[in-house]
Amino acid sequence: MWKGRFTENTAQAVQKFTQSLDLDWALASYDIEGSVAHARMLGSEGLIPPEEARRIEDGLNRIREEIASGTLVPTQELEDVHMNIESRLIELLGPTGARLHTGRSRNDQVAVTMRLFLRDRLRHIASGMEALLSVLLERAARHMDVIVPGFTHLQQAQPISMGHYWMAHFAAFSRDCERLLFALGSLRECPLGAGALAGSTLPLNREMTAKALGFASPTRNSLDTVAQRDYMADYHSFAVTFATHCSRLAEDFVIYSSREFGWLLLPDAFCTGSSMMPQKKNPDVLELLRGKTGQILGHFLDLLVTLKGLPLTYDRDLQEDKRGLQASLRTVEEMLAVLVPLLSAVEVDGEKAAEGMNDGFLLATDVAEYLVAKGVPFRQAHGMVGGLVKECLARKKGLFDLTGEEWKELLPEAGEDLFPLLSLRSAVERRRTYGGTAFDQVAKQIEDGKAFLENFRESFKR
């Protein structure tokens, strides 16, 4: 395509080094979609005869079928998917096929192909996120009345509803959904017509191609159009945060399902065994969710490092933006494909969880707040209850083990009205601050979550 300027053919080593077919042959259907819209616009505006525009469209549809059937095999000499398709079109139509590139550069051609591809994949991921949110809501409702320990510093802190725990992850993943919608929104402009960098001297109808391809409008600056990869960075930003949330959830599950904790029950179908130790049940899926998070972070860093030193407008470095993007997309889709059914099969052993809280020390804050309600300043109450816990440890007793006489000895301010409060269920029920773990608050979170899910579903299907 550039032989007119050069006196030598491209060296085979250069052809091999610069080809991108391993990255972009999968984009063929999206390239054809963009080319059909471009051909229709050229015919409509009289830039090529309408009959030739129709022949080009028919030829592109034939090439689409050849690619789907495997009869069209790309060649490395033609460098990328775009030139392979155009070369085949010229084989089929002769000079008519050569008219397709009128008013178009590979720069804006690649840009629209990538946006069409990414838009399709993000909508698929959005369906997976919808399923993820749905299963979290179902788990929250199922386990709302189950009480488990909540942790800070991986030390037991206060009792919580397991439904509250599930809704914590729902909140995190719902923010990911908002980031995903933002990434989809960054694809709303159509690059076709930007040309190599400065637009075209031909009267292209950019609004027509934008509308035909489902974009809200054409891009606003041709230089920025071919240079920017913000829309990819927006996807990677979603992917990194989503993967991080998956990794934190996986870490929780690895810990809570261990023998030392044992109250979270993983389905056998999502675990593996040991080649040597017959008793083992390994949480390999969860560990791989953690491990793949680093890959997704690496792909984002790869893009940012590539972009940070590039002058306007197009530079060949940008060819490599597809490699990390496609790998990240695959990984996110794989993570969703395994995470949703895994969560739907996880169970919670409430009795086992309660055994781990049978010393009652998780209620120390409740005792301090009881004193606060009696007029004791909080810092003073905190010190008094800290001393109570210290004495319990010395006597090798828990709060639940203290007799009435011992309560009067160790905390004279404690009245008979304290004792009904000293239960895990009471501790959870009374945390009714907005967003707290009380059962009625968790029920409200679930209802709000259902409304969010419905809005999200409508948003990404527009």
Residue type, 413: E
Q: Which helix (H) or strand (E) holds 63?
A: helix 50-69
Helix boundaries (H) for 70-215: 81-93, 95-98, 106-142, 162-185, 206-212
Q: Which helix (H) or strand (E) holds 151?
A: strand 147-152
Which residues are catalytically annotated?
153, 274
- Rounded Cα distance, 447 and 166, in Å: 14
The 10 Å Cβ neighbour count of residue 323 is 15
Report DSSP letters for 13-56, one per residue: HHHHHH--HHHHGGGHHHHHHHHHHHHHHHHHTTSS-HHHHHHH
Question: Residues 340, 139: contact at Cβ < 8 Å?
Answer: no
- Paired tokens of 400: 């639940």
- For the chain, the maximum distance between any two Cα atoms, rounded to a whole number of angstroms, is 102
Closest CA to 38 of 205, 223, 196: 205
The 10 Å Cβ neighbour count of residue 205 is 18
Residue type, 327: A
Report DSSP letters for 176-238, one per residue: HHHHHHHHHHTT-EE-TT-TTTT--SS---HHHHHHHTT-SEE-S-HHHHHH--HHHHHHHHH
- Paired tokens of 31: 């390239």
The 10 Å Cβ neighbour count of residue 215 is 23
